[in-house]
Amino acid sequence: MAVEPLSQKDIEERLEELPGWSTDGLRLRRTYTFDGHFAAAAMVVHVAGIQEELGHHAELTLGYHTLAVSVNTHSVGGKVTGLDIELARRVEEIAPGHGAR
Ligand SMILES: C[C@H](O)[C@H](O)[C@H]1CNC2=NC(N)=NC(=O)C2=N1
């Protein structure tokens, strides 16, 4: 099935189930905060595994105690699709186990 960009309304409805995530209509973003740098770095590795499993990849920016996740779908010209929502859901699932907030 073809991957289609979601409308702003669709994105906002889906983000109701993903607290902390936001959109400008062109990407989904969330920044997580951790108690230490190593915890943030460990989550990068875990997210990388999920991304390889899904075949879909976010931009991950590792800070001192933070990890910023920013994702859209390149193959539709940099818009938000269901693939981005799915990646955000999967990242949210593992975040508590890393002490992310
Ligand atoms: C062939 C491979 O699945 C594609 O190049 C994937 C890889 N990861 C991707 N990640 C993102 N964010 N958007 C894409 O369009 C995309 N395409």
- Taking only the tens place, the pLDDT of each residue in 13-64 is 999 999 999 999 999 999 999 999 999 999 999 999 999 999 999 999 999 9
Helix, strand, coil percent content, the chain, rounded in steps of 5: 45, 20, 35
Q: Whose CA is nearest to atom 9 of ligand 1?
A: 56
Nearest ligand 1 atom, CA 3:
15
pLDDT score recorded for residue 2: 80
Q: Is 74 in the pocket of ligand 1 (CB under 6 A)?
A: yes
Name the DSSP letter for residue 74.
G
What is the 56 CA–ligand 1 centroid distance (Å)? 5
CA nearest ligand 1 atom 8, residue: 56
57 CA to centre of ligand 1 in angstroms: 6
Residue type, 47: V
Q: Is 55 in the pocket of ligand 1 (CB under 6 A)?
A: yes
Query: pTM for this one?
Result: 0.97
